[in-house]
């Protein structure tokens, strides 16, 4: 799941560090795809400092939400539907349909949460800003992050840009998908392919909304309620 989808499960959580924790794995990977942190494997390092413990709790919730989402029938069904829809945009070029459908589904879910005001996106950024402290630096030090200044710079830009608000428009979802693919392939799409992709994402968004996209969030929320982190 993407940033706003993870935040959905913490939308009433006043602990800024836990909110930071639930998106921290993706922030780390966005800053550098080669960074590989696993603080959950050394929990004893974080237990005695409340801010560290909250960050770790959020981190573990992130991992569990992704596990539940990717193993769900919803994920399998909807990626299959989107994969078929976007095939006309992928007749040529290097991009794999399942890869694009996987990421596309996650971004469309964020789009729906944003446009239907299911999450307070401004609050999300405020909470990240309040958790961008020495406690976060300390947590990441114990987690093994070697380049703190680089990550801090990335996080500053992520918070100040408020980029997720751009997901309000479907064409910006296409733009985001193109940027992701450009990290892996040179010139992944033509302009014509991008136009087709935008049309197909709009079609998919409408059918997903009609089916009731919140069902997967309700399902995961019920699963989380029975667990401690």
Instruction: Report yes or no: 167 and 114 within 8 Å, Cβ to Cβ.
Output: yes
209-222 tens-digit pLDDT: 999 999 999 999 99
Distance CA 65, CA 224 (A): 8
Instruction: Report yes or no: 37 and 143 within 8 Å, Cβ to Cβ.
Output: yes
φ/ψ of 10, rounded to 5, equals: -120, 20
Give the pLDDT confidence score for residue 23 in this predicted structure: 99
Q: How many CB atoms lie within 10 A of CB 57?
A: 20
Instruction: Report yes or no: 229 and 60 within 8 Å, Cβ to Cβ.
Output: yes
- The conformational region for residue 93 under phi > 0 = left, psi -120 to 50 = alpha, else beta, is left
2-49 tens-digit pLDDT: 999 999 999 999 999 999 999 999 999 999 999 999 999 999 999 999
Distance CA 196, CA 194 (A): 5
Mean pLDDT within 148-168: 98
User: Residue 82 has which token pair?
Assistant: 């989107």
Instruction: Report yes or no: 129 and 163 within 8 Å, Cβ to Cβ.
Output: no
Distance CA 13, CA 49 (A): 19
172-206 tens-digit pLDDT: 999 999 999 998 999 999 999 999 999 999 999 99
Give the pLDDT confidence score for residue 226 in this predicted structure: 85
54-72 tens-digit pLDDT: 999 999 999 999 999 999 9
Give the pLDDT confidence score for residue 145 in this predicted structure: 98
Whole-number Cα distances in Å, 27 to 109, 191, 214: 18, 29, 24
**Domain residue extents for the chain:** 3-225
* DSSP-derived 3-state class of residue 146: coil
């Amino acid at each position: 799941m993407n940033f706003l989808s993870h935040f959905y499960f913490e939308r009433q959580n006043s602990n800024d560090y836990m909110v930071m924790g639930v998106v921290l794995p993706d922030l780390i990977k966005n800053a550098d795809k080669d960074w590989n942190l696993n603080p959950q494997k050394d929990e004893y390092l974080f237990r005695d400092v409340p801010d560290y413990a909250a960050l770790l709790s959020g981190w573990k919730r992130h991992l569990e939400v992704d596990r539940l989402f990717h193993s769900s029938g919803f994920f399998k069904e909807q990626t299959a539907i989107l994969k078929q829809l976007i095939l006309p945009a992928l007749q040529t070029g290097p991009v794999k349909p399942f890869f694009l459908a996987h990421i596309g589904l996650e971004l469309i879910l964020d789009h729906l949460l944003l446009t239907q005001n299911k999450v307070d996106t401004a609050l999300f950024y405020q909470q990240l800003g309040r958790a961008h402290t020495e406690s976060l630096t300390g947590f990441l030090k114990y987690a093994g992050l070697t380049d703190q200044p680089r990550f801090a710079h990335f996080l500053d830009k992520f918070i100040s840009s408020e980029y997720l608000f751009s997901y309000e428009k479907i064409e910006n979802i296409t733009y985001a998908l193109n940027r992701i693919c450009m990290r892996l392939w040179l010139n992944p799409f033509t302009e014509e392919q991008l136009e087709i992709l935008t049309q197909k994402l709009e079609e998919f968004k409408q059918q997903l909304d009609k089916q009731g996209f919140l069902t997967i969030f309700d399902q995961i929320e019920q699963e989380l309620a029975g667990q401690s982190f």
